[in-house]
Amino acid sequence: MGRLRVAVVTLCVLLARVQSLKLADPCNEATCKLPECKCSGTDSNSKIPIDKIPQIVLLTFDDAVNYLTYDYFQDALFDLKNPDGCPIGVTHFLSHEYTDYTKVHDLWKRGHEIALHSVSHSAVYNYWRNIDVKTFSSEFGDMRKIVNYFAKIPSSELRGVRLPFLQTSGNVSFQAMKELGLLYDSSLPSIHFVNPPLWPYSLDYQSIQDCVIEPCPTASFPGVWEIPMTVWEDQNNIPCSMVDSCLNIPETGSGVAQWMIQQFEKYYKGSRAPFPVFMHASWFSKNEEYFKAYKLFIKHLQSLPDVYLVNMNKAIEWIKNPKPLTAAKPFGNCEVRKPEAPCPTPLSCGYYNQGSEIWMTSCASKCPANFPWLGNPLGN
């Protein structure tokens, strides 16, 4: 009875904490100023002429990193440079099961950003829609601990979130993000703001972004940024927030690449808002023409002297402190990453998780007693 009382009290406290959140006020550009605050909108707020704004391209991948997906990344993206001579940036929204944390460590050392996509990646629709602050904090706080320990990546480097199936629980999700000290979310699609598209913005004030998948945040969350998932359109003008969810596309690699370039040019020849290339690497295994197309598309981007492929954190840094193309280093000095601890010989450990056999490869010195999971991220 005592435990039940404690559980009820805890739940009431959590509900009260979210319900007490004040609705965000309409944004006032006189008080919302860079670098700390940016109103939602279709302008960079940089005062830099559009033709002097670097065209940011955001390459992201969702879900597990393993030897299959790693090979695609190695083939298409390794050793590429931006016009300033710095390595390109990529962001991986990482889920736990089937991930090889030694590959994650290697990607991070190469300059890729690792962000959070949950521990469980539960396929139950209402799980994410109805998630409470405590469970959200476990899904993403525990994932941060897992990546920190098993991939040897500093927790401070794990700054961003994308919800599975792009399903947030509105204010609850964003309150939990703020309490976890996370910098940004990228889970909210936008269909209305495509031409011109939205720029990333902070959630200090009310957002003008359309709410495609309810519920969406309505309260104020100072210091938390949103990188909108502005949609692409397939050949039938049907919107798709992930590249691999676009169904009506050409059949050949060259045709798909040309379609991708057409999506890009809406931004490049327009407002120069960051261009989203959000996908799952599993798309490449569905049809070899898709991977050919991706490489052709990246090759095209690399041929343009004013296009920068940067990770999401670096994009927010630029928006906060924008520099024109005429600057020697529009995105600052090249980053050199030194791990806090080395990743030794890969260690593979076998477990049974939820009735199924599963293996985990990591940078750990010994196998944890149990498969790391919610509530037990180190597998003690």
List, for residues 178-234, the tens digit of each pLDDT value: 999 999 999 999 999 999 999 999 999 999 999 999 999 999 999 999 999 999 999
Neighbours of 70 (CB within 10 A): 18
List, for residues 18-75, the tens digit of each pLDDT value: 557 989 999 999 999 999 999 999 999 999 999 999 999 999 999 999 999 999 999 9
Distance from chain centroid for Cα 180:
16
Q: Phi and psi (nearest 5°) for 208?
A: -90, 0
pLDDT at 7 (0 to 100): 42
**Taking the chain, what is the end-to-end CA distance rounded to the nearest angstrom?**
29
User: What is the rounded distance in angstroms from the CA atom of residue 158 to the CA atom of residue 179?
Assistant: 14
Q: Phi and psi (nearest 5°) for 204?
A: -65, -35
Taken in order of first residue, the domains within the chain and their CATH numbers are: 22-346 (3.20.20.370)
User: What is the rounded distance in angstroms from the CA atom of residue 333 to the CA atom of residue 338?
Assistant: 15
User: What is the rounded distance in angstroms from the CA atom of residue 169 to the CA atom of residue 153?
Assistant: 28
> 370 is written with which tokens?
């149990």
Decide if pLDDT at 10 tops 50.
no
